[in-house]
């Protein structure tokens, strides 16, 4: 009877634990990063001696839970990280290409160029009149402000990108430090235990978060500890079993970006091909290219209109002074020469007299030859086309990533229908084990009563 009691008791303990595991799965069905747990149930073996020094293993001693396993699929998890890095890069790039579009279009520089030349045409129709000269001067100030505000908006975008890059680098370093702590915990955790499963869940959450910042290469050891390289298999180690790297981000006005990982006295460069950092690198290059195009356009426009003014004659029949100036090194400092007034606009050509319009006609011809408006519109159009393409790519990559996540969750996530069946099955087994105990007690009591 003692064997029957112990078998029933072991079964009750076993299925009580199994019910707890199933309940934990159900409770965490919606917990991000949670992987399904399963109780490892084994038969309790019993050995009997059949001769001196000889034993035989017999069954019939009940069951016990030897541990709790965690569902995992390394290939599907790697696919989630890879597709997530691709998506994060494209989405980050889209943000900054969109910012460029806002800077180029939001300050209406193209419209201000067109309005300036329209006012110049009106002045050519009546070069001696004061009103069209005043209007042209005001439109010139508006145009200069348009150049400057567009350049300032691009500079602001570059500064914000640099700040976001620094924040992302700091976050990546913090994630690496957290992963090192998880690695240390896994060293101490017992195999097939609930604490180990919890640590492994947190490990995978950290790896997914890292992937959103940069593409990573991960190697696992027998304890489940992760060694992470940033930027791919040849990139620097940013988290190992004991140490995490210090991550830094720096960008220059030329669009160059440097991302480094430092360990003690060693510093290595990270060259991401995925994740937010790769998108920031793309964005920095695009912003720098847009600024350079704008600066070249502003300088060419200023230089050529200055030369045109010098070759013309004002209402006072004197050579014209520069209408536009760039007082610094780029278009952010573009303005209308504060020394010029409406009479100082050189509308006449040399030899025409103060009331001629030859220089305004030359400006109209220069407008066609230099095609400043077309050059700027090309920059805007190219950026808009790239933005539309990247958005389409992001949509496709989003679908790929969602499919990868669904495939992984299907392999390691909680199926509520399956867990409901497990609850019923384990409950019935628990009740049956309890019934075995009751039967054993009844038999024992019957024997006692007979005696």
Q: Which residue has the higher pLDDT, 28 or 436?
A: 28
pLDDT of the residue at 54: 58
Is pLDDT at 451 greater than 70 in this prediction? no
In a domain, 397, yes or no: no
Average pLDDT over residues 185-212: 95
**Sequence-distant contacts of 99-103: CB under 8 A, at least 24 apart:** 99/157, 99/160, 99/283, 99/287, 100/154, 100/157, 100/286, 100/287, 100/290, 100/383, 101/380, 101/383, 101/384, 101/387, 102/153, 103/150, 103/153, 103/154, 103/156, 103/157, 103/290
* Domain shared by 263 and 328, yes or no: no
Tell me what the pLDDT averaged over the chain comes to: 93
Q: What is the pLDDT of residue 448?
A: 82
Looking at the fold, whether 95 and 225 belong to one and the same domain comes out as yes
In a domain, 391, yes or no: no
Question: pLDDT-derived band of residue 354, with 50, 70 and 90 as boundaries?
Answer: confident
Give the pLDDT mean for 178-193. Answer: 95
- Shared-domain flag, residues 202 and 213: yes
For residues 63 and 106, membership in a common domain is answered with no
Using the predicted structure, report yes or no on whether residue 100 has a pLDDT greater than 90: yes
**Phi, psi of 235, rounded to the nearest 5 degrees:** -75, 170
Q: Please check whether residues 362 and 326 belong to one and the same domain.
A: yes
Q: Do 138 and 278 fall within a single domain? A: no
The structural domain count of the chain equals 3
Tokens of 302: 């200023």
> Do 173 and 260 have their domain in common?
yes
Q: Is residue 408 part of a domain?
A: no
Give the pLDDT confidence score for residue 204 in this predicted structure: 96
The residue-averaged pLDDT of 199-213 equals 97
Same domain, 233 and 307: no
Distance CA 134, CA 323 (A): 13
Both tokens assigned to 166: 């620094």
Q: Are residues 276 and 370 in the same domain?
A: no
pLDDT of residue 49: 54
Domain of 17?
A: 2-71+414-450
38 and 108 part of one domain = no
Domain presence at residue 375: yes
Question: Over the stretch 26-45, which tens digit does the pLDDT of each residue have?
Answer: 999 999 999 999 999 998 87
């Amino acid at each position: 009877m003692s064997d029957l009691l112990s078998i029933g008791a072991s079964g009750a303990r076993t299925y009580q634990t199994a019910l707890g595991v199933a309940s934990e799965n159900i409770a965490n069905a919606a917990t991000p990063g949670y992987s399904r747990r399963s109780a490892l149930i084994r038969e309790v073996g019993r050995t009997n001696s059949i001769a001196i020094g000889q034993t035989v293993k017999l069954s019939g001693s009940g069951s016990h839970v030897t541990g709790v396993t965690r569902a995992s699929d390394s290939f599907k998890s790697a696919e989630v990280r890879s597709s997530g890095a691709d998506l994060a890069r494209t989405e980050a790039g889209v943000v900054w290409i969109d910012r460029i579009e806002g800077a180029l279009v939001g300050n209406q520089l193209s419209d201000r160029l067109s309005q300036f030349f329209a006012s110049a045409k009106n002045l050519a129709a009546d070069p001696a009149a004061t009103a069209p000269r005043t209007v042209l001067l005001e439109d010139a100030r508006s145009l200069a402000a348009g150049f400057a505000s567009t350049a300032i908006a691009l500079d602001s975008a570059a500064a914000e990108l640099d700040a976001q890059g620094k924040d992302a680098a700091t976050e990546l370093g913090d994630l690496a430090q957290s992963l090192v702590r998880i690695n240390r915990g896994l060293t101490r955790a017992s195999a097939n235990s609930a604490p180990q499963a919890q640590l492994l869940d947190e490990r995978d959450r950290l790896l997914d978060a890292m992937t959103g910042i940069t593409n990573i290469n991960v190697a696992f050891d027998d304890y489940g500890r992760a060694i992470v390289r940033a930027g791919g298999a040849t990139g620097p180690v940013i988290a190992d079993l004991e140490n995490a790297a210090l991550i830094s981000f720096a960008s220059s006005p030329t669009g160059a970006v440097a991302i480094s990982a430092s360990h003690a006295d060693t510093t290595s460069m990270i060259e991401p091909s995925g994740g937010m950092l790769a998108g920031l690198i793309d964005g920095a290059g695009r912003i720098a290219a847009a600024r350079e195009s704008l600066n070249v356009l502003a300088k060419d426009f200023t230089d050529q209109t200055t030369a045109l003014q010098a070759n013309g004659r004002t209402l006072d029949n004197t050579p014209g002074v520069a209408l536009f100036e760039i007082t610094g090194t780029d278009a952010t400092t573009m303005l209308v020469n504060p020394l010029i007034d409406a009479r100082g606009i050189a509308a006449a050509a040399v030899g025409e007299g103060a009331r001629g319009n030859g220089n305004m006609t030359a400006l109209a011809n220069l407008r066609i030859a230099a095609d400043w408006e077309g050059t700027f519109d090309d920059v805007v159009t190219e950026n808009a086309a790239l933005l539309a393409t990247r958005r389409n790519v992001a949509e496709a990559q989003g679908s790929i990533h969602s499919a990868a996540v669904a495939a992984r969750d299907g392999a390691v996530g909680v199926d509520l229908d399956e867990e409901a069946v497990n609850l019923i099955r384990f409950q019935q087994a628990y009740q049956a084990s309890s019934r075995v105990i009751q039967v054993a007690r009844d038999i024992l009591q019957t024997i006692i009563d007979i005696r």
